[in-house]
């Protein structure tokens, strides 16, 4: 991956006082160079709509975890998706 950038709008749906489900959508830009088995390479770039969803839980006022799925790019036979496990520290 040579370059990846994205911008999103995010909305949370509270499930309890310390957890929420969230969805997001926006736009992503991706540029990558791929090497074939014969050592030739292809450079490709894509831009398009992105979306995803996740779950966040906070453990007290200073620490939280989240699990997220995102579809970043799905155009011209190129699909970039990902799962993320994250930690947050509030101060």
- Walk along the chain (91 residues) and give the pLDDT tens digit of each residue: 788 899 999 999 999 889 999 999 999 988 888 888 888 887 878 888 899 999 999 999 899 999 999 998 877 777 788 999 999 998 8
pTM: 0.75
Say how far apart CA 12 and CA 38 lie, in whole Å: 47
The Cα–Cα gap between 60 and 14 comes to 16
């Amino acid at each position: 991956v040579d370059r990846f950038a994205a911008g999103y709008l995010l909305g949370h749906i509270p499930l309890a006082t310390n957890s929420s489900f969230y969805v997001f959508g926006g736009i992503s830009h991706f540029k990558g160079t791929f090497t074939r088995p014969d050592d030739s390479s292809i450079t490709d770039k894509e831009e398009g709509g992105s979306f995803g969803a996740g779950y966040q839980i906070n453990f007290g006022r200073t620490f939280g975890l989240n699990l997220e799925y995102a579809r970043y790019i799905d155009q011209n036979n190129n699909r970039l998706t990902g799962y993320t496990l994250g930690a947050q520290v509030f101060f």
